[in-house]
Amino acid sequence: MIEIKNIVKIYQSGSVGFQALSGVSFTIKDGEFVAIMGPSGSGKSTLMHILGALDTPTTGTYFLDNKDVSTLNEDELADIRKNKIGFVFQAFNLLPRTTALRNVSLPLVYAEVSKEEREKKAKESLKAAGLDKEYFDHLSNQLSGGQIQRVAIARALVNNPTLILADEPTGNLDSKTGEIVLETFRKLNKEHGRTIILITHEHDVALHADRIISLKDGLIIGDSKTHKK
């Protein structure tokens, strides 16, 4: 599914350049659950933006489903983000005073899917994300933090993307609620075959994945299995 080859990213500020990534290479297969872990300044946020087609590398190549993403223009990148990648963010990014069902179905409005089909797919996604049916018509400001994040996960699923990219998804949650959300990702991976990349700075969070890629100062310093059953 993913092949990263010698990715370098340099941010230029006037005559001064900062190298955020220094030749990163790895592959991720379909159906893997991978955590990318590192402290602030390690390059993980830069890598996340490249994986999410939100930014392009200075040099190197990024293949997603055999397509060289690193060579695409802005319209083509937008198409990748819309159709191939589902995003889950720390800040949830849901519309306030809007129902869970409506929040999840919105991406399908832009895809010009019929109202009946939008509702059907949104309900299927909410169910897959583990939200109880009784909360489907609750407004987002009437839900708990864990329920809100499940709605955000459902929204990421609704376009049936090949990749779920979760950026610090438990950062705004207490540890108990965070565990529930992480188990939701694990269930989506194991029972629904979703490919998931989890970005985190916390080792305990990374351990929920099957594999951890560790970054420091723009370099991969570790890539190992977590020996989960």
pLDDT of residue 122: 93
pLDDT of residue 135: 95
The pLDDT tens digits for 119-172 are 999 999 999 998 999 999 999 889 988 899 899 999 998 888 889 999 998 888
pLDDT of residue 6: 96
Which residues of the chain form beta strands (DSSP E)?
A: 2-13, 16-28, 33-37, 59-64, 67-68, 85-89, 163-167, 195-200, 211-216, 219-225
Q: Which domains does the chain have, with CATH numbers?
A: 31-57+73-225 (3.40.50.300)
The β-bridge relationship of strands 33-37 and 195-200 is parallel
Look up residue 178 and give its DSSP letter: H
pLDDT of residue 228: 62
Name the stretches of the chain with pLDDT < 50: none
pLDDT of residue 192: 84
Residue 141: alpha-carbon gap to chain centroid: 23
Q: Which residue type does 33 have?
A: F
- Buried/exposed code over 79-103 (b: 16+ C-beta within 10 A; e: otherwise): ebbeebbbbbbbebebeeeebbbbb
